[in-house]
């Protein structure tokens, strides 16, 4: 019996499950906030523990790939799937500069400390991780919803001035 074929089929099933997870994560991020970020996709699909992501953001980890729970080949595959879904869904790529969280102010401003994503530091790989994918239609929709909620909140805060006005009730007995 040839077991190599069975392993290959199992790999394909795992691969298709992973594709589904990646595409679903990108879709849900875009639906929720109007864009998807590769690092957040990695958290959502379970290959990057949230605490490890935060450690990286605070500069406790040299590069993001070091704390992912899968190998570089699988990370590369995931990144390819993010780009593939983004292209298929007409999401706009937008570079985002990642800097360290929790940096103390010096001389009135915070020093900018860039974060590294990859072990190699290759600029193309760094750019791929730092690229967010924006759903322009959804961001417009979210802005309108936010403006509508803000307008409703402002309307609720405006006092009804007619409540404090004196009411002139004419008494039919007085002949007025």
Give the residue among 85, 105, 99 at the shortest CA–CA distance from 38: 85
Give the number of domains in the chain.
Answer: 1
Considering the domain boundaries, does residue 9 fall inside one?
no
Tens-digit pLDDT profile for residues 43-57: 999 999 999 999 999
Does residue 7 fall inside a structural domain? no
Which of the four pLDDT bands, split at 50, 70 and 90, describes residue 146? confident
**Residue 41 scores a pLDDT above 60:** yes
Asked if residue 93 is part of any domain, the answer here is yes
What is the rounded distance in angstroms from the CA atom of residue 58 to the CA atom of residue 54? 6
Q: Which of 54 and 167 is assigned the larger pLDDT?
A: 54
Q: How far apart are CA 99 and CA 101, in angstroms?
A: 7
Report which of residues 27 and 8 the model is more confident about.
27
Distance between alpha carbon 57 and the CA centroid of its chain, in Å?
15
Comparing 104 with 115, the larger pLDDT belongs to 115
The pTM (predicted TM-score) of the whole model is 0.76
Range of the domain at 33: 14-152
Given a cut of 80, whether residue 101 has pLDDT beyond it is yes
């Amino acid at each position: 019996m040839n077991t190599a074929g069975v392993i290959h089929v199992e790999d394909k099933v795992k691969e298709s499950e992973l594709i589904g997870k990646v595409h679903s994560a990108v879709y849900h991020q875009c639906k929720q906030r109007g864009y998807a970020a590769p690092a957040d996709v990695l958290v959502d699909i379970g290959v990057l523990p949230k605490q490890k992501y935060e450690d990286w953001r605070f500069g406790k980890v040299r590069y993001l790939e070091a704390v992912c729970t899968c190998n570089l080949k699988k990370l590369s595959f995931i990144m390819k799937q993010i780009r593939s879904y983004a292209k298929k869904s007409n999401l706009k790529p937008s570079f985002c500069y990642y800097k360290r969280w929790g940096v103390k102010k010096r001389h009135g401003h915070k020093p900018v400390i860039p974060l590294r994503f990859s072990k190699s530091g290759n600029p193309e790989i760094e750019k791929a991780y730092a690229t967010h994918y924006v759903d322009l239609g959804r961001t417009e929709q979210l802005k309108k919803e936010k403006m509508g909620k803000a307008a409703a909140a402002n309307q609720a805060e405006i006092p009804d001035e007619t409540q404090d006005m004196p009411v002139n009730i004419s008494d039919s007995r007085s002949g007025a």
